[in-house]
Amino acid sequence: RAEARARQNKILGANSAETDLNKIRSRAGLPDTKANNQQTVLDAIAKERQVELF
């Protein structure tokens, strides 16, 4: 869902890619993401996917 929102340019605020990404990071005890534009959010999502799968 975060990736879909990022690709729709729903990056910051409520119901955004940032919110979805921060939920995952919070669950892992990590600080909120500092990604604040479409490309950095997509990069952060790809990194989280890699960490979750391996």
Full-model pTM: 0.84
Q: Give the chain's end-to-end CA distance (angstroms, integer).
A: 20
Checking if the pLDDT of 2 tops 90, the result is: yes
Tokens of 12: 């910051």
pLDDT band at 21 (very low <50, low <70, confident <90, very high): very high
pLDDT band at 38 (very low <50, low <70, confident <90, very high): very high
Distance, in Å, from the CA atom of 7 to the CA atom of 4, rounded to the nearest integer, reads: 5
Checking if the pLDDT of 54 tops 90, the result is: no
Nearest to 36 by CA among 15, 54, 19: 19
pLDDT band at 20 (very low <50, low <70, confident <90, very high): very high
